[in-house]
Structure 1
């Protein structure tokens, strides 16, 4: 039962972070109560690998 409660709590936290990212830093705005969190999310997104258009086209051709 504790595992299920922990899994639900973890999924709520992750979904909350995604909602906050889409609502503020993704649009170029800072978070009103925690600007440091928006900066950290923006840095994490910049560091994440991205599939470029050319690579995506090559994957579709295979």
Structure 2
């Protein structure tokens, strides 16, 4: 079973691919500035993870 982190990684790769298609340039996942707060989730409760996922989804919508 994939973890929450696996899902986030998958989403980040998709975002980089979409941005690359839109700009015609190579885009690295690290250039998306998605790492903010990720280390704070290690050992987080399910509620904290759900809240972080909602916030990440909002950030992704702005990319």
Category of TM-score, reference length = shorter chain:
0.3 to 0.5
Which one has a larger percent helix, Structure 1 or Structure 2?
1
TM-score by length of 2: 0.35
TM-score by length of 1: 0.36
Between structure 1 and structure 2, the one with the greater Rg is 1
Q: Which protein has greater RCO, CA pairs closer than 8 Å, 6+ apart?
A: 2
